Amino acid sequence: SNSFCTLLADMPTKAKKEAQKELAQIKSQARAAKAAAKAQRAKKAAKVAKKEETRARRAADIRGAKGVLVTKADVKDPALREELQAAAGRLVPPHRYDVHLKNETITVTVTLHHVPPQKIDVDKTTNTTLVVATPTHTKKYHLEFDFPHGMKVDQEKGDYTFDSGELKCVFPVKKMPADVVRDWTQRLESVRKSQRARFDVDQEGDLVVRKRKTKLEFEQLKQDAIAKKAAKVDKANKKEQAAKKADGAAAAGKKAVAAKNTVGKGGASAKPAPGASDDKQAMLKIAQAAAANVSNSLKARMEVQKAALQRRQERAAAVSDKKGAKAEKMQTAFSRVLAAKEAELKRREARVAAASGTPSKPRNSGTPGKSVKFA
């Protein structure tokens, strides 16, 4: 460096400036390379730290999923370490349950593939918890299933059946919870509603799927039944009104005869009660108004149902018209394509005949060819 500085001192001014500039550029490049190497080392260290953090988090997640909060290396007691190792190796098998309200039973199905039935242990099952374990098998399955809604079963009368890799456990329920009864009733009602909407019962009692035409006919029958009911109510109201009028006329005639007989005998004429006829007329008007309201409500319902049926029929007709128009359009397009192909074939035959000097035979002169039609 001293020789370089001596050399710079002996240089002319212009060469000296250029050498100093080159030296500054070399120093700046060295600083930039040093900073880049430092940043690369920091980036690499951060990457390694992140990888270690990810590995630790995954190990913690795996331990948490298996129910282990600490590793066996953290435990110094040998017995506790063995218990911890056994708990970490447990697997929860797939399972499902179903409650049958009518039979008052609960069925729990546990999937245990490739497990012999001799290796399955259910001795720790209680009235509130089903315990299924395979401690002597290579796959350490362990299931502790708490019966839903605090349900209590009769564990001694439980029935266990193992078939095709599935353990079916059926227990009688001592007392069915109110929540289960309510949920089961709602689900059954929804199933019945969907069946009424989608199916019909034939004469043999079997369920038959309702088609659109059958639905329309069913709606028409429903409307006819409503109309018959309305007509029957109107007829009954008219009969009741006629009977009331006849009873009123008979009562008035009897009263007139009794009054005449009384006057003929010289006795005092009995006068009717002042408000009796008014009350009877008011009751008659109320009955007539009630009958009219029932008839009007039935008629309004009939009109609504008829309008809905008419809208369905219009939609069905519109869909049918669209399908017909689409088929006709397709037939027209296909006919046009066939005509263009036939014209092209005729032109090709004419060119071939002109080139060979032999007259071309007219097409379709003999038996008719194939034809395509759309239904």
Rounded distance between C-alpha atoms, residue 300 and residue 34, angstroms: 92
Helix axes 276-356, 212-264, angle to 10 degrees: 160
Strand partners, 98: 107
On whether both 172 and 216 belong to a single domain, the answer is: no
Lowest mean pLDDT among 129-143, 186-200, 271-285: 271-285
What integer pLDDT is reported at residue 96 of this predicted model?
93
Range of the domain at 11: 1-89
Query: Is residue 150 pLDDT above 60, yes or no?
Result: yes
Residue 327 lies in a domain: no
On whether both 54 and 130 belong to a single domain, the answer is: no
Would you mind telling me the total number of residues written for the chain in this entry? 375
Q: Give the mean pLDDT of 301-320.
A: 86
Lowest mean pLDDT among 46-55, 106-115, 190-199, 332-341: 190-199
The residue with greater pLDDT, 38 or 285, is 38
Which band of pLDDT confidence, cut at 50, 70 and 90, is reported for residue 80?
Answer: low
Domain end, chosen from 124, 151, 176, is at 176
What integer pLDDT is reported at residue 64 of this predicted model?
54
How many helices (H) does the chain have, and how many strands (E)? Answer: 6, 8
pLDDT over 90, % of the chain: 16
On whether both 312 and 217 belong to a single domain, the answer is: yes
Residue 219 lies in a domain: yes
What integer pLDDT is reported at residue 107 of this predicted model?
95
Question: Of the segments 1-5, 67-71, 315-319, which one has the largest average pLDDT value?
Answer: 315-319
- Residue pair 121/112 in contact by the 8 Å Cβ criterion: no
On whether both 43 and 94 belong to a single domain, the answer is: no
Spatial neighbors of 288 by CB under 8 A, at least 6 apart, are: 237, 241
Residue 354 lies in a domain: no
Residue 348 lies in a domain: no
Instruction: List the one residue out of 216, 214, 226 whose CA is nearest residue 310.
Output: 216
Residue 203 lies in a domain: no
On whether both 245 and 297 belong to a single domain, the answer is: yes
pLDDT tens readout for residues 247-287: 776 677 666 666 656 655 544 444 555 555 666 677 777 77
Domain count for the chain: 3
Domain end, chosen from 176, 194, 228, is at 176
On whether both 170 and 239 belong to a single domain, the answer is: no
Domain end, chosen from 89, 123, 155, is at 89
What integer pLDDT is reported at residue 277 of this predicted model?
63
Residue 368 lies in a domain: no
- Residue pair 149/160 in contact by the 8 Å Cβ criterion: no
What integer pLDDT is reported at residue 270 of this predicted model?
46
On whether both 95 and 83 belong to a single domain, the answer is: no
On whether both 269 and 218 belong to a single domain, the answer is: yes
On whether both 159 and 226 belong to a single domain, the answer is: no
Q: What is the CATH number of the domain that holds 110?
A: 2.60.40.790
On whether both 217 and 153 belong to a single domain, the answer is: no
Residue 305 DSSP SS3: helix
- Residue pair 145/124 in contact by the 8 Å Cβ criterion: no
Residue 116 lies in a domain: yes
Lowest mean pLDDT among 6-10, 108-112, 226-230, 240-244: 6-10
pLDDT over 70, % of the chain: 67
Residue 252 lies in a domain: yes
- Output the six-digit token pair for 45: 């260290």
Helix axes 2-10, 13-65, angle to 10 degrees: 140
On whether both 59 and 114 belong to a single domain, the answer is: no
Q: Average pLDDT, whole number, for the chain? A: 77
What integer pLDDT is reported at residue 58 of this predicted model?
74
Report the phi/psi class of residue 164: left, alpha or beta, with left for phi > 0 and alpha for psi in -120 to 50.
Answer: left
Rounded distance between C-alpha atoms, residue 104 and residue 108, angstroms: 14
On whether both 127 and 157 belong to a single domain, the answer is: yes
Phi and psi, residue 136, nearest 5°: -100, 5
Phi and psi, residue 98, nearest 5°: -145, 135
